[in-house]
Structures are given as C-alpha cells and as structure tokens.
Amino acid sequence: MDNLIPAPLRIGANTPGEGFLPDRSTTLTAQPGTETTERWLRAALGAAFGLPLDPPRPGTKDAGNTVELCLDPALGPESYRLVVAPGTGVRITGGDSAGVFWGAQTLRQLLGAEAYRRAPVASGPRRSVPFVEIEDGPRFAWRGLMLDVARHFMRKDDVLRYLDLLAAHKLNVFHFHLTDDQGWRVEIKRHPRLTETASWRARTKYGHRASELWDETPHGGFYTQDDIREIVAYAAERHIRVVPEIDIPGHSQAAISAYPELGNTDVIDTSSLSVWDTWGINPNVLAPTDNTLRFFEGVFEELLDLFPAATSPFIHIGGDECPKDQWKASAAAQARIAELGLRDEEELQSWFIRHFDTWLTARGRRLIGWDEILEGGLADGAAISSWRGYAGGIAAAEAGHDVVMCPEQQVYLDHRQDGGADEPMPIGYVRTLEDVYRFEPVPPGLSEEAARHIIGTQANAWAEVMQNRARVDYQVFPRLAALAEVAWSRLPAPEERDFAGFERRMEAHYARLDALGVDYRPPGGPLPWQRRPGILGRPIEGPPPNV
C-alpha cells in the first residue's frame, strides 16, 4: 500500500483481513460510460493472470468476488475512489470515464509487478489487494511527455508502447513532435514529397554536432495516415490526448528540401538543400509568402482530420529557434514586412504565428507553441510551452495565456542523469531523479489568477542522441515516474518533499518497469551495455540557472 506512484491523495485505514485475491471466477461489472476501462482491464489483467473477468451471469450475484466500475460526477474530472472491502470485492468509482481508468491503474499497482506482464508467470495473482479505501485525483489537467520522433524515428509499435507507459503513470498528454530539420514523419497526401523525400536523410551525426563521428546508414521513416489514426485511437482508449507538432517557421529544412519554393529562394539556392544530417539551430527557415501559408494550411487541414478535436483540441506549431538572418537578407521578406506595416522580423514571425492561430481557432482548435511565440506579440487564445526556463511561462500567465511548464533546466530528459564519464552521449545539465522530483511547475510569486493559467507540466525528450528505443528508455526512466508524481500529486514545497520516501516506493516501481521491459537507468548507474564512453556530447557545467 505504501508503494503507489504517483502518490494518491488519501489512503484510508486498512480493514483487517486477507484482502481481495481475484481468481478465474472473479467477475467484472461495468456501468455505461466505463467501457474503455472494462476493455483495458480484461486485456491487461486477463493477459497477466489468465483471468477471463467475465460479466456476472444473469440472475447471479457474487458481490464478494467482483470488480465493479461506476461513475459519480460529484468526484470531479479524472478523480476516483477505489474501495476494496470484505463481501463487496473491488469497486472503482470515477468522476468521469478517465477517473475510472486511473483507478484501474491503481488497482494494477496493488496487484504487484506480475500484473504488468503479458502472460502469466504463475497460476494466478500471488498478491491480494488489501481491504482499503483510496480517494484520489490529479493536481494538473495537463500531465505529459513530449517525444521527438523527427530526429530519430520511432516505429509505430514503439509509440503505442509509450502510450501504455504514460497510462501506467497516470499521464494524459502525448506531445508528438512530428517534424523538424532532420525529418518529416507524417503522411500528407496532397504533398507526397514530404514523405517521399523529407522523411529520409543520407546519414546522421553520431553524438553532439561537434563530434567527428557519423553513422553512414540512411535513417528515416514516417507514419501513414492510418498509422496516425491508430495511434490516436489507442491513446483515446487510455484517456490520453495527442498533441501533434508541426514545427514552423523554423526547424523546417526537411520540408524545404522536398519543396524548395517554401524557402527564401532569393537568399539561397534552396534546391540544393537536403534533409539535415546534423544537430543545432538551422538558418534555413520558411519564407513568409502566401504560397507558404497555403501549403501549411493544406498540411493542417489533413492533420485536423487525423487528430479529431475531441481528443486533440491543441495543435502545436513549434515557433522556436527561428533565426531571422535570411528574412533580413530577403527582399521578398522585407517587402512583406513593409506591406503589412510591421516594424521588424520579430513582428513578422508574430504575424506568421497569428495567421495560423486565427486559422486554427476558426476550426475549433487551439494553437500552442514554444515560448518564442511571445516575441512580437501573442494571439489572445494561444497557449505556450515554456521551455527556456520559467520566464516565458510567467509572462504568458500574467498576460492571461494558458501555460504548460517544461523548462529545459528542469525536465528535459535528454539531459544527462549523472556527471560520470560512462553516461551515454552526455547532454545538458545533470538532472537527477531527485532534481526532477523537486521540480515545481508553479513558480513562487505568481498572482493567484496567473497561477490558474499554469494548466500543467510535461517532460520533453529530444532524440538527437537517442537512436533507438533502449536509449529513449534510458533517458526517460526512471525520471518520468518522478515527473508523473509532480504532475498528479499534491506535493509540499520542493525543499519539503520526502525524496527518501519516494526512493523507497521506487524500489517496488522498478520491478514494475522490469516487467514492462523498460531499459531504465538503474540507481547505481548505467549497466555495461548502456554505457557510451568517449562519445562527444554537450554537457553544460555548473548548476542550471534559476530562471
């Protein structure tokens, strides 16, 4: 009972007794509105323990050996009550269907690590669920992970696996970074060269961009539109919203390589550009032309069909790290600035972002972008992902914009977990499990009204030096478990948090991750096959700035 992650809001006193041990005669009763959890329980626990979890037969009643799923809107969004009592079995009551699902995730944890396997390792559950009452609900509505599949492609099955890992940690937002200079990962039927050309690069820098090493194997891949529909539907079954990101107007060389007219053709020969094979901030950005606007309106038209509003109300447009040098040198860009009566290139980017904010709003969606979209003015309904520290998020929240706090200095999981020489391709600041656990999404000093605009937090996993699933696992876990507790639980101030207690609970959680096949970083450091000594990274020395 004391090893749940994330920590629940309240655990009632245990009732004496042996507890509830499901067996092949255990039934599953589901009220209307709880069908997603009913299907998930039968699939997950049925596979792990070989239990049919059939519905009760008509005319029979066995309240002491049943799992019952109920709804009670009075509990609130995503909240639940889990009651295990003698003579009544297990009852999970949710404030909505998502709350029921999160309650089922807690039940799975109570059943032990064997509940996370895909086939039985014993004749049935070996651990009974204690007689207890748990009341729980999330602190934030946005609890997420950003996964970059543009730098290194992740196969569809691996994406589905990550959705299961998010669900196991009560995370409900999957920020899907689909495009960048190094690759375009989503099929757009009206622009076929985006996947024919822009989804593959000839080679890849191995390590930081200053490294002299290259992987000469062509790298790439993309998701068909049916792949995307499958991913979105799979996420929805797990009450996870998918937020797609199409990065504009910077980070766009892959798109320009396929359609050179999208670039600043009066400054460089864009027809000579290929999908970028190294890392960093790329000078080749989109041209602020009507043709560019129409092209990406077409992209977003298809995207909105793939990501329905019910499950993907937000569309992320990037907006970060857009160098203005080509616009300054472009006669066409300067003419556009004069035509629009703008002061400079910063306002030109703001105009570009506002155009798509208006376009998306007219179609019932909300634009979200990285905090650079604040520069030059931000459209009223836009939200931001605050990555360059807290400052952008504070400014946006005080101005009435919704904010997802994800500062690089705190929750970039591509950053190294230790300063040791054996860490694979060290990047960024040292961010330990404890550092992430002590992260606070709402900075001190915010007004009460502004604090309400901090709608949540997410961890970001950029994939420049994460070439495969095992490397992603190593960087993301176990730190994502700490972020999940920060996002879900109502923790005390960072300096007052019981990290020693969290570590004790993690001992049981590592067994769950083992059962799930997660290649996490062990507490004692990387295993021999996880080490990458001598590969040049980009470590940043000293403590991260408090911004």
User: Of 462, 515, 455, 503, nearest to 479 (Cα)?
Assistant: 503
User: Of 7, 6, 4, 20, nearest to 132 (Cα)?
Assistant: 20
Dihedral through CA 44, CA 50, CA 51, CA 52, nearest 10? 90
User: Quick check: is 464 catalytic?
Assistant: no
Distance CA 432, CA 544 (A): 12
Scanning 170-242, the segments in alpha helix (DSSP H) are: 193-196, 225-237
Distance CA 161, CA 89 (A): 30
Exactly one of 180, 357, 408, 519 is catalytic; name it: 180
| Maximal C-alpha separation, the chain | 80
CA distances from 148 to 145, 174, 193, 259 (A): 10, 11, 21, 23
DSSP assignment, residue 181? T
Distance CA 403, CA 442 (A): 10
- Phi–psi pair at 222, nearest 5 degrees: -155, 165
Nearest-Å Rg of the Cα atoms of the chain is 24
Exactly one of 251, 401, 453, 509 is catalytic; name it: 251
Amino acid sitting at position 217: T
Distance CA 107, CA 336 (A): 59
User: Helix, strand, or coil here: 237?
Assistant: helix
User: Of 232, 220, 58, nearest to 149 (Cα)?
Assistant: 220
Contact 64, 89 (CB under 8 A): yes
Amino acid sitting at position 449: E
User: Quick check: is 227 catalytic?
Assistant: no
Distance CA 153, CA 298 (A): 24
CA 23 to chain centre: 35
Those residues with Cβ within 8 angstroms of residue 386's Cβ, 6 or more apart along the chain or in another chain: 371, 392, 393, 394, 396, 403, 404, 405, 406, 407
User: Helix, strand, or coil here: 337?
Assistant: helix
User: Helix, strand, or coil here: 357?
Assistant: helix
Exactly one of 230, 321, 440, 503 is catalytic; name it: 321
User: Quick check: is 23 catalytic?
Assistant: no
Q: Sort 21 into a burial class: Cβ within 10 Å, 0-12 / 13-18 / 19+.
A: middle
User: Helix, strand, or coil here: 347?
Assistant: helix
- Phi–psi pair at 68, nearest 5 degrees: -115, 130
Helix 156-168 crosses helix 97-110 at what angle (to 10 degrees)?
80
Contact 401, 382 (CB under 8 A): yes
Residues labelled as active-site residues: 180, 251, 321
